[in-house]
Amino acid sequence: MSARRPEPGCYDPDVVQERLQKILSRAGIASRRAAEKIIGEGRVTLNGATVLEMGTKADPARDDIRVDGVRLKPPQRPVYLVLNKPKGVVTTRKDPEGRTTVMDLVPAVAGLFPVGRLDVNTEGVLLLTNDGGLAQHASHPRYEVQRVYQAKVRGIPEAATLARLRQGVRVEGERLAVDRVRVLEAEHNAWLEVALHEGRHHEVRRLLEAVGHPVSKLRRVAFGPLTVRGLQPGEYRHLTAEEVRGLAGRPASPPPRARTRRTPLEPPARPRRTRGRA
């Protein structure tokens, strides 16, 4: 049994309808692609009817939408936070071992979740949101949202080693590569800046260990337009509108046009009549 659709001619301009996969994504249930799979498995009902058509639309504020029998709450206003994740904090919603998680450091917001993972010993920029669509866009390699890390490594890599990192290295059968890498400090051990656009499991640590320079400290200093400038470890802030647009791949709003004052034109001077002498 498929979900009922509105009768022709019953369009209500006050009802805002969206595709169900978008509604599920915004509610933090799953990404849009995963939401399509959930719908295809017949796990979603709309006003009591099982949804079978992928393009089905609904109004989350009025319709009864359920996943596995559990009703979706009307989506709240999207929330976007950037956290300066401290070392020793786990990037997960709940930890079975009872360790401190990133969710303990931010406000309790329905559907809020961390985008991607920073391992327990890595610190720095972490995005949290309840907007599944933006999370999908920010984390998918296709959209090339750049991650920038600073890594303290053992020893000082030679130029040839840095070139290998750019060209790509086989690690456990997987080809890993960086977009760019440079040495920031070089004494007994080096600090490197590493930039890449994928978020594979422990990618920076695995890469650097594979070329003979294991990581002792790692922090993410940028995620797309986001930085933790001005945030102490454990502190967070809300994203600006420009940062949200940048992560969503939308162009920044143009700067306001400067107003120029027009100087009123003076009326042309009338030519003076000169009287000739008689």
Looking at the structure, do residues 95 and 44 belong to the same domain, yes or no? no
Specify if 105 maps to a domain.
Answer: yes
Structurally, the chain folds into a number of domains equal to 2
Specify if 163 maps to a domain.
Answer: yes
Looking at the structure, do residues 38 and 85 belong to the same domain, yes or no? no
Specify if 258 maps to a domain.
Answer: no
Specify if 10 maps to a domain.
Answer: no
Looking at the structure, do residues 211 and 95 belong to the same domain, yes or no? yes
Q: Is the pTM of this model over 0.75?
A: no
Q: What is the mean pLDDT of residues 30-59?
A: 90
Looking at the structure, do residues 135 and 228 belong to the same domain, yes or no? yes
Specify if 255 maps to a domain.
Answer: no
Determine which one of 12, 64, 68, 119 is catalytic: 119
Specify if 277 maps to a domain.
Answer: no
**Among 150-154, 238-242, 257-261, which stretch is predicted with the lowest mean pLDDT?**
257-261
Indicate the pLDDT class of residue 254, thresholds 50, 70 and 90.
Answer: low
Looking at the structure, do residues 197 and 236 belong to the same domain, yes or no? yes
Looking at the structure, do residues 86 and 175 belong to the same domain, yes or no? yes
pLDDT beyond 50 at 4: no
How much is the mean pLDDT over the chain? 84
pLDDT beyond 80 at 71: yes
Q: Which domain holds residue 150?
A: 80-248
pLDDT (tens digit per residue) in 172-186: 889 999 999 999 998
Q: What is the predicted pLDDT for the residue at 267?
A: 53
Q: What does the block give as tokens for 66?
A: 């359920």
Q: Around Cβ 217, how many Cβ atoms within 10 Å?
A: 14
Annotation marks residue 59 as catalytic: no
Q: What is the mean pLDDT of residues 12-22?
A: 65
Instruction: For residue 154, give the CATH number of its domain.
Output: 3.30.2350.10
Q: What is the predicted pLDDT for the residue at 12?
A: 39
Specify if 272 maps to a domain.
Answer: no
Looking at the structure, do residues 222 and 84 belong to the same domain, yes or no? yes
pLDDT (tens digit per residue) in 203-229: 999 999 999 999 999 999 999 999 999
**Among 119-123, 161-165, 203-207, 259-263, which stretch is predicted with the lowest mean pLDDT?**
259-263
Instruction: For residue 46, give the CATH number of its domain.
Output: 3.10.290.10
Looking at the structure, do residues 119 and 217 belong to the same domain, yes or no? yes
Specify if 273 maps to a domain.
Answer: no
Looking at the structure, do residues 42 and 179 belong to the same domain, yes or no? no
Looking at the structure, do residues 22 and 111 belong to the same domain, yes or no? no
Looking at the structure, do residues 143 and 220 belong to the same domain, yes or no? yes
pLDDT beyond 80 at 9: no
Looking at the structure, do residues 118 and 233 belong to the same domain, yes or no? yes
